[in-house]
Amino acid sequence: MQVVIGIDSSTQSTKALAVDADTGAVLGEGRAAHTVSGGAGRESDPREWWRALGEAAALTGYAGQAAAVSVGGQQHGLVTLDSAGESIRPALLWNDVRSAPQAAALVAARGRETWARRAGSVPGASFTAPKWAWLRENEPEAAARTAAVRLPHDYLTERLTGVAATDRGDASGTGWWTPEGYDLELLHGLGLDTAMLPVVVEPGKAVGEVLPGTVFRAGALVASGTGDNMAAALGLGLVPGIPVLSLGTSGTVYAVTRGRPADASGTVCGFADALDQWLPLACTLNCTQAVDRVATLLGRDREAVEPGGSAVVLPYFDGERTPDLPYASGLLHGLRHDTTPGQLLQAAYDGAAYSLLAALEQVLQAGGESLAADAELLLIGGGAQGAAWQNTMRRLSGRPVRMPAARELVALGAAAQAAALLTGERADEIARRWGGAQGPLLEPLVRDDDTLVRIADTLQRSEKLFES
């Protein structure tokens, strides 16, 4: 038996799976939390990720036996290192929206069409390029000391191997990568050069080997790793045109496509997948955490929803990325004397789900795919286990929903990357052999068009309130 370990270094914790490379059986699991600081933004000390990686991997019970390792990590985060390889300041996380003015300035300077054509995406506040621009403007001393810029998964891979490497999937979320490599003109405009960035490794290739002194066996192979959404797509073994809705702290909708997306509206991010295709994606900042916050304010269990009512809740507590409203706040509209707390909670679910479903067809169209009339949705993430989320998605989409049984899909996809180093197969083929997308199918409900129209009307009337 050959054992591989996949890592999921997410916003608030690190998960690790030890997997039998032949069968896909999960042999051991580990989890370790790390800290996110609040205040004006969202930041984490990268050394916390490294500590959590070691703890989570050790808890699997197989770290010393693993023949190969791979890291999936949260996208977009800005890690700045000095000439000694030490972090200069806490990493700016994807959901830190302080760089919204810098994102707007970058888009205005070149135009949406240019960004979409060259970088694949119109950069928003979550992207790495605006975060670097924010650092240069607001902390010039830190920017001047920066000798290397990394994404979260790059940082961890480099700590494991000593090699500065990344992959096309995660690199495509920076704002300075193209299918031909790094865009030198875009980098020059940001005050960066390629010497500060990791090398982009070809899919299926090893970055290097685990260095002595880690929790893993020295000499174990290390794959390129990838971003968390790309790793989850691998864990599912996605084929083109099958949409995925991921319900976590953030919400995402994505699909593997054969065509390269380039959405000048900025709704769809034109990411590469971790192999040789594309992963157009739309993301919301407010998903399960926002709904749970409403439940807490109402003093109700998160499942205690009730049907009916006319209330609309737009739970944009952290600003919003889709739609692009970085300065938004939560909004409650349409209260009546007979509105119940359970109806308000259901309205929060509806408001959080609406943005994802509204972007669904745009995601597919951006990559040249179409959604069949009876196509099912794959529902993943922590929220996918709740009946209220399941029923909300079925009611607002009118589609059947499949619930993949595999839970830690990012770590599973990273494990498939690691296994590919041993077997020579494509990572997505390995995941399909492991059955990553298998699970029960929930029948569709009649689509609730009245609620969809009510939310759309409220959003349209409210956008001017969120402009600053």
Segments in 367-448 forming alpha helices (H): 387-397, 409-423, 427-434
Q: Are 87 and 80 in contact (CB under 8 A)?
A: yes
CA distance 314 to 334: 12
CA distance 243 to 20: 28
DSSP-derived secondary structure for 229-282:
HHHHHHHHT--TT--EEEESSSEEEE--BSSPP--TTSSSEEEE-SSSSEEEEE
Q: Are 34 and 73 in contact (CB under 8 A)?
A: no
C-alpha closest to that of 413 among 35, 17, 140: 17
Task: State residue 84 phi and psi, 5-degree precision.
Answer: -95, 0
Burial of 18 by CB count in 10 Å (0-12 exposed, 13-18 middle, 19+ buried)?
A: buried
Label the pairing between strands 206-209 and 43-44. Answer: unpaired
- Point out the residues that are catalytic: 228
CA distance 186 to 288: 35
CA distance 453 to 150: 42
* Four-point Cα dihedral 250, 255, 258, 260, nearest 10: -30
CA distance 70 to 261: 27
CA distance 20 to 6: 11
C-alpha closest to that of 221 among 358, 423, 60: 423
